[in-house]
Amino acid sequence: MGRSPTTPLYLGLVITLAAVVAYSAYVTWRITGLRELQNNLIDRNRKDSLQLLRIQNELNSIGISMRDMLDTGTLDQGQNYPLTAWEPQFQRMRGDLEDAFRREQQVAPQGRTEDQQHYLQSSLSQFWDAVERTFALGRGGKETEAREQIRLSLQARLAALSTAVARLLVQNNESEEHAAAQVTEIYDRVQRQAYVFVTATLIAILLTSLYLIRSNRLLFNQLATLSEQRSDLAQKLISTQESTLRHISRELHDDFGQILTAMGAMLGRVRNQLPEDSQLRADLLEVREIAQNTLEKVRSLSQALHPVMLDEAGLEQTIEWYLPVVERQTGIGISYEKSGTPFAVNGNSAVHIYRVLQEALNNVARHSGSKEAWVRLEFAPNGLELQVEDHGSGIPAGRTRQGIGLVAMRERAELLGGNIAFESSSSGGTLVTLKVPKSPPESHV
């Protein structure tokens, strides 16, 4: 017997489960990284970009206001709009701008350096200091100097602030593009790993299937070998049994029967030599009758062990002789039906069919409790069918083990190349059906 495939299959199952767990952990780790990348970088970049756009809009509003301040200083007819009139509007825009800067600092991405943040804050502080100085000049009546301050200092500082904000927006866009590239790379890597994992799993399934197919083939080959050996052993056992029964039957019929016949003849001669009124003559007659009865029993036993009629008259006549014998011995009434066109059944096949009939009727007598039985013999164009039916107790429910008699009947059916079925009769009881091909394989008895 080969090695059991259980251990390799368990090992393959453990490896497969470990691979599934490892790949699941890998995918979970990658998904967690994607979530962190999205939360910590992409979302923060988008929120920060929104605030930077707000700051840029505020700076643009301040730039427009400064241009308006310069334009109103050059009106005709000497009608100048004082700079101090713009101070409340600038205070309001300063509040909005500082609020925007404060919110932007809260959502600033992690890639923002301290130098960039410090430069932005210091530029903003310097710009508002310059604005304060400009309005201070305006309040002191120095409108011309104040407007000159706007042209030379404030607009330059505002342009620097706008440039810094624009750079931060570009940096955020680049960060988002880099993050998108990372996400794409992660997805591609996970996809490749999925393909590799699916391929490896399919290969493992294929290898396991091939191993199972090979193991099953070896197992079926071993079962076929064992079945063949069992059939050979059953054939040899049945052949040995039939050979032994034939030998015993011949010894009883020939040797012991001849001895009893000779004893009867000798007793007859001695009896004829005695006077008619002799008591010994009556005793010899009684002994001769006992010898004759014994001879008949020996011949009946010889026929039961191996009917000589099978070799001399064939299967049909042997069955017709055997059924009345069973009726006398068991008291069971047997109805016999024969149909079809008879054909010759060779000696070995006849022995097996006769033994199946004998065992079936013995089961009726021993186990069924029925007082009636039906035997049907049908000669079909392609084979022979024998049925034995009774209306007794039938096959016990839940019975899983078969007696040696039923096993022997199955073995004989296989030796004939046919099949045998044990079924419950439609009227209660048991129906045994033996089907044998017309030209069964060679069997030795």
Mean pLDDT of 224-229: 79
**Looking at residues 59-80, what average pLDDT do you find?**
72
Residue with the larger pLDDT of the pair 124 and 44: 124
pTM for this structure? 0.50
Tell me the two tokens of residue 155: 């607009």
Mean pLDDT for the stretch of residues 130-138: 86
Task: Tally Cβ neighbours within 10 Å of residue 282.
Answer: 12
CA distance 357 to 416: 14
CA–CA separation, 34 and 31 (whole Å): 5
User: In this predicted model, what pLDDT tens digit does every residue of 250-291 receive, in sequence order?
Assistant: 777 667 777 878 777 787 777 777 777 777 877 777 787 887
In angstroms, the CA 86 to CA 61 distance is: 13
Q: Look at residues 342, 399, 411, 330 and name the one whose alpha carbon lies nearest to residue 371.
A: 330
Give the span between the Cα atoms of 67 and 288, in whole angstroms.
160
Assign 433 a pLDDT band (cuts: 50, 70, 90): very high
